Amino acid sequence: MTALIQRSGPGRVQVDDRALVNLASCDYLGLSGDPRVLAAAHQALDRWGLGSAAGRTLSGNTTLHRELEHRLAAWVGCEDAVLHGSCWSANAAVFGTLAALDAQTGSATAVFSDRLNHASIIDAIRTQRRTLSELVLYDHDDLDGLRRSLTAAAGEHTKVIVTDGVFSMEGDQAPLADLCALAGEFGAILVVDDSHGTGVVGATGRGSGEAQGVLGRVDVLTGTLGKALGGAIGGFVAGSASFTAALRKHSRPYLFSNNPPPAMVAGALAALDVLENDAEPLAVLRARVRQLRDGVARLRLTTYEGDHPIVPIILGDEDRAAAVSTALLDEGVFTTPLRFPMVPRGTARLRLQVSAAHSATAIDQVLGALARHAQD
């Protein structure tokens, strides 16, 4: 079983009464403990209570929720956004809504999905499998293969290309500019789940669209509040006014499940304020990522190139990944080994996740431990 955490704060956890550097969290900007974020959450808790005990279609439709939807939409360059309880639900909602629209118009949708897409996308598609006319899994980032499949499916009414913005086990970015162009060429809808990109990549942290010069050109963007934007809970779908209106009508998680509670919504709003007004968390994050990635390269460990705070150390063998993780734990470094079915067989790895909350000294400690235990 995964270790039980006794206490935690940005960049660190306590396990078995020992303080550890935490490399197994998506709190990339350290905002889960930022005083500005916490103050906003405290205020909302006092004003609104723990929760509305109601979804958005009942009395849970607060001004705060609507404000966050407007802010998120503007931030990612879309017309509107719809909050959900999680990004898992947001992805389910997107495909549920596409299926509902198909049923209304008598159309049929063919979905083209990157093989390494997140489990929530895979399950969202599976749930709608009966109503989809076709599902094509294209090899990771294989644009030529995707083009061939799109060409072969030319007769379909609706085509949907879906990809992670940043892949969660690799830390690499999808080629969004090329995917936007392909979608345009084939009249396809491009759906991007940018959970690991939101708040992290792009000059001002607006995500993969900003990083690749296509901000606002992705048709449907999903993301989470549970990672860089405060690390709590919540997800969103951003898109055109017409698609988000359809979501509010057809998304079953939106209609039948609670939204994130007001304190979490207020925390996410404050996280957006931080991103818009304070360049330091992103700058510190990037310096720490550089430090870790340069060190990993010097140690000649196998990883994926890039600049994302997800730095996978590919070890291959499952037992070895577990053993290295245990050895790092003894050195005060908390990582989790990722094995099948989270990653393909034979590619077991440690996924190191850097945060702005890590000190340069902490990253040096990690590199020292990797030098002693992760090298062949």
Ligand X SMILES: *Cc1c(COP(=O)(O)O)cnc(C)c1O
Which residues sit at the interface with ligand X, rule CB under 6 A? 86-88, 118, 120, 164, 168, 193, 195-196, 224, 226, 235
- Of 65, 84, 159, 196, the active-site residue reads 196
Whether 168 is catalytic: yes
Contact 122, 271 (CB under 8 A): no
Give 113 or 291: the residue with its C-beta nearer to ligand X: 113
Give 218 or 369: the residue with its C-beta nearer to ligand X: 218
Distances (CA, A) of 128 to 133, 135, 136, 231: 10, 10, 14, 29
Q: Is 257 exposed, middle or buried (0-12, 13-18, 19+ CB in 10 A)?
A: middle
Q: What share of the chain is helix, strand, coil (3-state, %, to 5)?
A: 45, 20, 40
Give 164 or 219: the residue with its C-beta nearer to ligand X: 164
DSSP E strand stretches across 44-155: 80-84, 109-114, 134-138
Question: If you write DSSP's letter for every residue of 326-351 in order, what string do you get?
Answer: HHHHHTTEE--EE-TTTS-TT-EEEE
Give 174 or 324: the residue with its C-beta nearer to ligand X: 174
Q: Structure tokens of 59? A: 């009395």
Whether 196 is catalytic: yes
Give 295 or 306: the residue with its C-beta nearer to ligand X: 306
- Residue 2 CA to chain centroid, in angstroms? 21
CB of 227 vs ligand X, minimal distance in Å: 6
- Of 8, 149, 168, 251, the active-site residue reads 168
CB of 173 vs ligand X, minimal distance in Å: 12
Give 227 or 250: the residue with its C-beta nearer to ligand X: 227
Helices (H) and strands (E) in the chain, counts: 13, 14
| Cα 187 from Cα 174, distance rounded (Å) | 19
Q: Look at residues 224, 312, 219 and name the one whose alpha carbon lies nearest to residue 268.
A: 224
Q: Structure tokens of 97? A: 């809504």
CB of 108 vs ligand X, minimal distance in Å: 26
- Of 65, 118, 159, 227, the active-site residue reads 227
CB of 247 vs ligand X, minimal distance in Å: 16
Whether 227 is catalytic: yes
| Cα 255 from Cα 269, distance rounded (Å) | 23
CB of 368 vs ligand X, minimal distance in Å: 29
CB of 165 vs ligand X, minimal distance in Å: 8
Q: Structure tokens of 176? A: 């969004």
The residues assigned a catalytic role are 168, 196, 227
